[in-house]
Amino acid sequence: MAQDRPHVHELLAAIREFLATDVAPKLDGRTGFQVKVAINSLAILEREALLGPPADARELGRLKALLDRDAPLPDLNAELARQLRAGERDESDPALMEHLRLTIADKMAISNPKWR
């Protein structure tokens, strides 16, 4: 099914563009604001559909190397959180800090690409 078109990001883009060009200009007040919030939310979902899978793959690769362990992404994140809470890792670990920097950059590219 994932090979069929339109793809998720294409559908989200079409809905977002319709709301932005045909609906939002006709609205004001609270409803206009809510439509703008919906347009922004659709843009985030659109970026998540495009950028999320490769970002997750990069994060998984970094965590496998950092923790020297193979497991699903949620399990590796849980292990890293456990190590941080236990004081087994901290900001003095350059590999940890680089992983966190890159992970945050990927998340910001999805949630707010204007952040940089």
Domain assignment present for residue 94? The answer is: yes
Domain assignment present for residue 1? The answer is: no
Q: How many CB atoms lie within 10 A of CB 33?
A: 12
What sign results for the dihedral spanned by CA atoms 30, 36, 39, 43? Answer: negative
What average pLDDT does range 22-43 have in this prediction? Answer: 94
| pLDDT band at residue 115 using 50, 70 and 90 as cut-offs | confident
Domain assignment present for residue 3? The answer is: no
Containing structural domain, residue 51: 8-115
Nearest CA to 94 out of 64, 63, 66 is that of: 66
What's the domain count of the chain? 1
Domain assignment present for residue 2? The answer is: no
| pLDDT band at residue 12 using 50, 70 and 90 as cut-offs | very high
pLDDT the model gives residue 114: 84
